[in-house]
Structure formats: structure tokens, C-alpha cells
Amino acid sequence: MSTRSGRRQSGLHGGRRIGEARKGSQEHKRVGGFGADSELARRAGKKGIEVARRRYGDRLFSERGRRGGQVTRDRYGSEHFSELGRRGAEARRRKAQQH
């Protein structure tokens, strides 16, 4: 790490400086920003998705979804998806019986 004067600082001292600078970094969650305004966060996320879709196309999302499904299958096995389907069907059945 170097200082403005160009001299190197040890990692310990540099880490302390970073830690001191970050002490108030969570204040925005209490005062403003996405942490204080969930609607603002929702709109920003929606806008980000729209920009990504225009820039990269729907193929990006299809590819990410496919990879996520493969990782889930590798991690939990294909029977995991069957169980999710059973649970969903049961929830729909219960909801239909209520109405």
C-alpha cells in the first residue's frame, strides 16, 4: 500500500485506515438510499434488468437460468425438482379447496 507521498504503509496500518473510513458506511441504510426506500430499490433493480436485457438480450438470462439449474441439480440431485413440484401441486390443491 502506498500513501499520497508514495511511501509504502504496512498492511496493518493501511487496514486500520480503511476500517476507520468505513465506520460510517452503513449510515445510508438508516438515513436514505435503498435500505430506507424499498420502492426505490425495486425500481432501480427493474431498470437494471431492462438495461441488461437491451444490452445483452434475453439469451443472457436463459444461460444464467440454465447454469443455475445445472448447479442445483448437481448439488441436490434431480429428485429435488420432483419434490419442489410435489410441494407446489399440494399448495395449489389446498388453495383451490379454500375457494
Q: How far apart are CA 46 and CA 40, in angstroms?
A: 10
Residue with cell 413440484: 85
Kindly state whether residues 62 and 99 are assigned to the same domain.
yes
Kindly state whether residues 95 and 81 are assigned to the same domain.
yes
Q: At residue 8, what are phi and psi to the nearest 5 degrees?
A: -80, 145
Kindly state whether residues 62 and 80 are assigned to the same domain.
yes
Kindly state whether residues 49 and 70 are assigned to the same domain.
no
- Within-domain flag for 88: yes
- Within-domain flag for 44: yes
Q: How many domains does the chain have?
A: 2
- Within-domain flag for 93: yes
pLDDT digits (tens), the chain, 99 positions? 445 555 555 556 666 666 666 666 666 556 666 777 888 889 999 999 999 999 999 998 999 999 999 999 999 999 999 999 999 999 999 999 998
Domain span at residue 85 reads: 58-99
Kindly state whether residues 52 and 65 are assigned to the same domain.
no
Write the CB contacts of 16 (distance below 8 Å, at least 6 apart in sequence).
none
Task: Say if CB 44 and CB 54 are below 8 A apart.
Answer: no
Whole-model pTM above 0.75? no
- Within-domain flag for 4: no
SS3 content of the chain, % helix, strand, coil (to 5): 75, 0, 20
